[in-house]
Amino acid sequence: MDCGVITSKSVLLLISLSFWAAGAGLAYVGGYVLSTSRTYDPFNEDQYVLLPAVIIICVAVVMFVIGLIGCCSTLRESRIGLGVFLFIILLIFTAEVSAFVLGFIYRSKVGSDFREPLQHVFQQYDGTNSESHAIDYLQEELQCCGVNNYTDWTSSSWYNTTGNHSVPLTCCKHAFIKNCTGRLSEPQYLNTEGCGDKMVSAIQSVLSYAMLVVLGFAIVKFFGMMSVCVLTCRRDNGYDRLHSGVFA
């Protein structure tokens, strides 16, 4: 076996292993995006915002399979297997580009898709229902209060029925939780920023991170396709001629 064949096999095996590593990375990113989106699920009426994450996870599963096909076809020196390997890489590349485009589209829609449902959920706050638990978690996690700012609570039924005209204690700053009563007359103890902008910013950051990862893997797939083509040609022009000379 000459140096060219050994090099070709080594490169193809490395590409196959890179598919497994990339699949693991994409699975993590997709799962993280889904987990983050479910945290804000009560505020989101457009479930299509999860579509890029679902595509990423599906791509990750297929990539594990591709890595297996790549290893087997390389070790067996199967021309058909290498052709299938190249074709699947092209499909994965197309899916990743689609995920990137969808992520870009839905990233710009996050603000409009979340703000109105968020306002509706805030109006249903009573301190005990599921919407209240979601609001409390959101305000405590993002250290925010209200939709636009902490004064939004003055128009809520909760503020007008508590008796002391207070906001939920989850609006309190962590450093002053012991002294905070939730009254608007003590704004120094409250998180005054609204949750709307913070939530949208958090989701957009996650989507941006996912889009960058997908774009990076798409670039890798592009060079992978070129490598498979080059290695296949090297095998056809070198390895087959070597055997034809032996049997001649």
What pLDDT, in 10s, does the model give residues 97-149? 888 888 888 777 766 667 777 888 888 888 788 888 888 888 888 888 888 88
Per-residue pLDDT, 241: 42
Question: What phi and psi values does residue 149 have, to the nearest 5 degrees?
Answer: -165, 180
CA 135 to chain centre: 23
Q: Give the separation between CA 201 and CA 107, rounded to whole angstroms.
A: 10
Name the percent of the chain lying above pLDDT 70. Answer: 79
pTM for the full model? 0.58
Nearest to 114 by CA among 194, 60, 232: 194
Q: Between 93 and 246, where is the model more confident? A: 93
Q: What is the mean pLDDT of the chain?
A: 77
Per-residue pLDDT, 71: 83
Convert the pLDDT of each residue in 216-242 to its tens digit.
Answer: 878 877 777 776 776 676 555 544 443
Nearest to 147 by CA among 201, 200, 195, 203: 195
